[in-house]
Amino acid sequence: MSNVQAVEAKPRERVAMNGVDTPRLFATLDAVKAQPELAAFQFRATNTWISGTHSRSRIEAFSGANGEHRHTGNIQFDADHPAVLVGADHAPTPVEFLLHAIAACITSGIGNIAAARGVRLSEVESTVEGDIDLRGILGLSKDVRNGYRELRVHFRVKGDAPPETLQAIVAQSKARSAVFDVLTNGTTVNVTADCATA
> Which residues between 72 and 131 bind its own copies (CB under 8 A)?
72-75, 77-112, 121-131
Please tell me whether residue 177 binds its own copies under the rule CB under 8 A: yes
* Smallest distance, its own copies to C-beta of residue 13, A: 16
Please tell me whether residue 154 binds its own copies under the rule CB under 8 A: yes
Strands 76-79 and 150-159: unpaired
Is the CB of 9 or the CB of 122 nearer to its own copies? 122
User: Cα(124)–Cα(155) distance, rounded to whole angstroms?
Assistant: 7
Please tell me whether residue 188 binds its own copies under the rule CB under 8 A: yes
**Cβ-based burial of 152 (10 A; exposed 0-12, middle 13-18, buried ≥19):** exposed
**Cβ-based burial of 77 (10 A; exposed 0-12, middle 13-18, buried ≥19):** middle
Binding mask 24-63 for its own copies (x = CB under 8 A): xx--xx--xx--x--xxxxxxxxxxxxxxxxx-x-x--x-
* Smallest distance, its own copies to C-beta of residue 167, A: 5
Please tell me whether residue 69 binds its own copies under the rule CB under 8 A: yes
